[in-house]
């Protein structure tokens, strides 16, 4: 007999990510992440799978984490990044390692002072480009050698005893903390010759992951070399000559471009980005740029009203959202890419000449990591769905599932599958949503309901696995999750529809979702719950300050005050400009205050649990503290849950032991008010 899911089942899940197919199409490697040890910490290793036989085996055995596997173009080697703990409180080190597909032990290729990551093979399979940081006063000879234990002790002592100083506007990032004076640069290393790694880029600006030209002489990458970069929404694509290190901008400061891939003839770059028409709500598009200084780009997917890449969320996926890779056909007449459509993420192709887009792989699921063989005849993908945390599938004429990494635990569990719904939101718009009925659902009975609200807001719920929702269904609740206006995967107009209207028609869409679900006849409308994180946390705070229809609320990593958010968030000024118009606290105090839940906190009667992470720089802790303190002064039912050593990503990829603790505390709060 199957059992219901419990929070500790997170420890039993195996998470697959970063799937890569060998150029010949015979092998697939992927990263498998498990939770191990007394603290159930994440450990990642690379597994290899024979496509023909389906046999697989663990391929690397690093002490902590092996990731970012990349086949050499000739199929002879696999490069990957190994993360090791240095011990004695000295932190961790990441370096690039190599292993021969013919057999033998893996060996370390780089020994960079500040670590190395993102290996990218040169076309001749003899060299690798990679990223490593460089400080203002760092000497070359020191950069290419590992930091000594004494150096690490001195650096740690310096951090403890000297003030951190900046003159930059952008000086912190949620998952990185406070920025140092170091900048990410591109390096190249030969895999056999004893040449030292070569620093290909420099300057006080960060460089993105590079892409090799077919002739192996140039690299394309994203960045912004302007002295005013802090104040801009610009990301350019640059091309650098590996020998001379001279570079130039291809996109000519015309927008926000983040990823480039070379055409087979080396004359054109396929580029993902946009020209900031709707700020942060602008859909990512696919462009073609000639490899020339400040060239004129051609918008290839102009008639495709969806964004490039995956926007569907999950709480059981390493590294957050999927990749934004694009793949050229060998003939250079087609580009393959993924895009999200109505809560699913599919594979598409676009004809270079006509711009016509066709869907290749669809279904009520999410392809969150995709790779192809050199001939583009075989496709391999990591796939998730409502009841599938993630597995590897092969698409080559027919579809074949290659792995069943979680079959053991899935055989134990009774999971809730989703029922798709469509209802009328504000203005009569069609809004898509999903319902999970409680485990053991019986017709004729009425059940409590929990409304889930996603973050972003320009992301999406959909056909992916959420342990949080499965736990709520196991607890006996109806789970309602939906994509109100502002959600991605429905086109540009829908995506931008909540800008300058937070708490307006997006709020109406959510209330109409609840109304529709109640009309189905099996929801106890006296036992309604609401929860969400980030933007969803803001909406949770907003909802309980506007209506008393909910019996309980749980708000995660939320926003309560847009006036203070502007100055404390790592993205405060840019996000506020994007979502609310060009408002500042000193010029538009009333406008920002009027859309802040803090203004209406005295109207809150719903018992609310406030969950936040100590190191959250996206929605800093003060946002939770303000709301909690006000509610306590007003003697309202509330509880403050503060998780240590975690940031804005806690609910998705934070320490597993804290995620399980969060589940327990949330469920206890729901039980108190919903039964």
Q: Which of 366, 324, 319 is nearest to 342 (CA)?
A: 366
Please give the structure tokens belonging to residue 583. Answer: 């408002």
Per the model's pLDDT, the better-predicted residue between 563 and 152 turns out to be 563
Res 325: pLDDT: 80
Residues 66, 44 contacting (CB under 8 angstroms): yes
pLDDT at 209 over 50: yes
Over the stretch 324-366, which tens digit does the pLDDT of each residue have? 689 999 999 999 999 999 999 999 999 999 999 999 999 999 9
Estimate to the nearest angstrom the gap between the alpha carbon of 248 and the chain centroid.
30
| Helical segments of 106-168, H only | 140-143, 149-161
Please give the structure tokens belonging to residue 188. Answer: 């190249």
- Phi–psi pair at 493, nearest 5 degrees: -60, -45
Q: Which residues of 304-338 are buried (b: 16+ CB within 10 A; e: fewer)?
A: bebbbbbbbbbbbbbbebbbbbbbbbeebebbbbb
Domain with 435, as residue range(s), is 416-674
What mean pLDDT do residues 295-304 have?
97
CA angle 350–354–356, rounded 5-degree value: 40
Res 155: pLDDT: 86
Q: Is residue 123 part of a domain?
A: no
Q: Is residue 627 part of a domain?
A: yes
**Residue that has been written with the tokens 């075989």 in this structure:** 378
Told to judge if 534 belongs to the known catalytic residues of this protein, a careful annotator would answer: yes
Tell me, what DSSP letter sits at residue 371? Answer: E
Q: Which of 379, 358, 357 is nearest to 369 (CA)?
A: 379
Q: How far apart are the first and last CA of the chain?
A: 25
Q: Is residue 502 part of a domain?
A: yes
Please give the structure tokens belonging to residue 299. Answer: 């918008």
Q: What is the CATH number of the domain that holds 440?
A: 3.40.50.1820
Over the stretch 430-480, which tens digit does the pLDDT of each residue have? 999 999 999 999 999 999 999 999 999 999 999 999 999 999 999 999 999
What mean pLDDT do residues 614-640 have?
98
**Residue that has been written with the tokens 């498998």 in this structure:** 32
Q: Which of 429, 476, 484, 424 is nearest to 449 (CA)?
A: 476
Q: Which of 306, 228, 319 is nearest to 272 (CA)?
A: 306
Count of CB atoms within 10 A of residue 593's CB?
14
Question: Pick the catalytic residue: 235, 385, 534, 646?
Answer: 534
Res 319: pLDDT: 61
Strand segments, DSSP code E, in 634-674 are 638-643
| Band of residue 159 on the pLDDT scale cut at 50, 70, 90 | confident
Q: Is residue 494 part of a domain?
A: yes
Told to judge if 648 belongs to the known catalytic residues of this protein, a careful annotator would answer: yes
Res 194: pLDDT: 76
CA distances (Å), 357 to each of 17, 304, 349, in order?
Answer: 27, 7, 6
**Residue that has been written with the tokens 């996603």 in this structure:** 454
Q: Is residue 591 part of a domain?
A: yes
How many angstroms separate the CA atoms of 192 and 126, rounded?
Answer: 7
Tell me how many domains the chain contains.
Answer: 1
| Band of residue 321 on the pLDDT scale cut at 50, 70, 90 | very low
Res 320: pLDDT: 47
Three-state DSSP state, 384: strand
On the question of a cis peptide bond just before residue 290, with omega within 30 degrees of 0, the verdict is: no
Per the model's pLDDT, the better-predicted residue between 88 and 2 turns out to be 2
Q: Is residue 260 part of a domain?
A: no
Question: Pick the catalytic residue: 45, 346, 612, 648?
Answer: 648
Residues 616, 557 contacting (CB under 8 angstroms): yes
Q: Identify the H or E element spanning 372.
A: strand 366-372
Res 103: pLDDT: 87
Over the stretch 66-93, which tens digit does the pLDDT of each residue have? 999 999 999 999 999 999 988 666 678 9
Q: Which of 48, 54, 46 is nearest to 83 (CA)?
A: 46
Q: Is residue 168 part of a domain?
A: no
Is this structure's pTM higher than 0.75?
Answer: yes
pLDDT at 395 over 80: yes
What mean pLDDT do residues 21-37 have?
96
How many angstroms separate the CA atoms of 153 and 176, rounded?
Answer: 21
Q: Which of 559, 429, 545, 566 is nearest to 494 (CA)?
A: 429
Over the stretch 549-576, which tens digit does the pLDDT of each residue have? 999 999 999 999 999 999 999 999 999 9
Q: Which residues contact 167 (CB under 8 A, 6 or more apart)?
A: none
pLDDT at 396 over 90: yes
How many angstroms separate the CA atoms of 459 and 462, rounded?
Answer: 10
Q: Is residue 92 part of a domain?
A: no
- Assign residue 40 a region (left: φ > 0; alpha: ψ between -120 and 50; beta: otherwise): left
Count of CB atoms within 10 A of residue 268's CB?
21
């Amino acid at each position: 007999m199957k059992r219901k899911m419990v929070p500790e089942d997170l420890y039993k899940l195996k998470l697959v990510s970063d799937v890569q197919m060998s150029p010949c199409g015979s092998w697939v490697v992927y990263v498998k992440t498990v939770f191990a040890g007394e603290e159930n910490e994440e450990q990642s290793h690379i597994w290899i799978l024979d496509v023909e036989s389906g046999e697989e085996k663990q391929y690397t055995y690093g002490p902590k984490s092996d990731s970012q596997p990349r086949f050499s173009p000739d199929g002879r080697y696999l490069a990957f990044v190994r993360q090791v703990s240095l011990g004695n409180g000295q932190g961790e080190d990441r370096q690039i390692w190599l292993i021969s597909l013919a057999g033998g032990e893996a060996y370390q290729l780089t020994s960079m002072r500040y670590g190395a990551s993102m290996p990218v093979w040169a076309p001749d399979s003899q060299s690798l480009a990679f990223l490593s940081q460089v400080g203002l006063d760092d000497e070359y000879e020191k950069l290419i050698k590992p930091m000594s234990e004494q150096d690490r002790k001195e650096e740690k002592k310096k951090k403890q005893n000297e003030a951190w100083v900046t003159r930059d506007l952008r000086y912190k990032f949620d998952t990185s903390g406070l920025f140092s004076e170091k900048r990410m640069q591109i390096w190249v290393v030969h895999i056999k010759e004893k040449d030292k790694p070569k620093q290909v880029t420099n300057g006080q600006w960060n460089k993105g992951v590079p892409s090799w030209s077919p002739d192996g002489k140039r690299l394309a990458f994203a960045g912004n070399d302007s002295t005013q970069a802090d104040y801009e929404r610009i990301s350019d694509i640059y091309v650098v000559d590996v020998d001379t290190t001279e570079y130039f901008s291809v996109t000519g400061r015309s927008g926000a471009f983040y990823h480039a891939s070379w055409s087979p003839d080396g004359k054109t770059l396929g580029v993902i980005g946009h020209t900031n028409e709707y700020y942060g709500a602008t859909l990512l598009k696919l462009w073609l740029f000639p490899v020339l200084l400040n060239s004129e780009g051609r918008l290839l997917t102009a008639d495709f009203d969806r964004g490039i890449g995956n926007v569907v969320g999950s709480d059981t996926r390493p590294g957050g959202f999927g990749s934004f890779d694009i793949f050229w056909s060998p003939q250079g007449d087609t580009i393959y890419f993924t895009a999200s459509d109505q809560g699913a993420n599919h594979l598409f192709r676009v004809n270079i000449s006509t711009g016509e887009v066709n869907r290749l792989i669809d279904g009520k699921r999410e392809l969150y990591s995709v790779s192809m063989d050199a001939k583009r005849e075989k496709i391999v993908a990591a796939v998730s769905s409502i009841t599938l945390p993630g597995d590897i599938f092969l698409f080559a004429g027919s579809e074949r599932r290659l792995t069943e990494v979680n079959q053991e635990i899935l055989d134990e569990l009774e999971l809730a599958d989703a029922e798709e719904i469509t209802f009328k939101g504000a203005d009569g718009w069609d809004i898509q949503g999903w319902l999970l009925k409680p485990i053991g659902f019986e017709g004729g009975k009425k059940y409590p309901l929990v409304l889930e609200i996603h973050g972003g807001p320009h992301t999406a719920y959909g056909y992916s696995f959420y342990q949080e929702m499965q736990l709520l269904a196991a607890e006996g609740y109806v789970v309602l999750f939906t994509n109100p206006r502002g959600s991605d995967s429905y086109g540009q107009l829908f995506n931008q529809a909540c800008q300058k209207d937070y708490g307006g028609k997006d709020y109406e869409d959510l209330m109409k979702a609840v109304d529709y679900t109640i009309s189905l006849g099996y929801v106890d409308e006296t036992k309604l719950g609401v929860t969400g994180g980030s933007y969803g946390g803001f909406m949770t705070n907003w909802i309980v300050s506007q209506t008393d229809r909910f019996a309980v609320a749980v708000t995660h990593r939320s926003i309560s005050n847009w006036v203070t958010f502007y100055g404390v968030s790592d993205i405060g000024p840019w996000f506020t400009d994007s979502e609310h118009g060009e408002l500042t606290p000193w010029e538009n105090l009333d406008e920002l205050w009027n859309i802040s839940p803090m203004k209406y906190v005295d109207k809150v009667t719903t018992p609310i649990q406030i969950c936040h992470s100590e190191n959250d720089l996206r929605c800093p802790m003060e946002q939770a503290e303000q709301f909690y303190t006000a509610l306590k002064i007003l003697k309202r039912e509330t509880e403050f849950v503060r998780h240590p050593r975690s940031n804005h990503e806690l609910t998705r990829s934070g320490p597993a032991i804290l995620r399980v603790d969060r589940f327990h505390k949330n469920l206890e709060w729901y039980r108190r008010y919903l039964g």
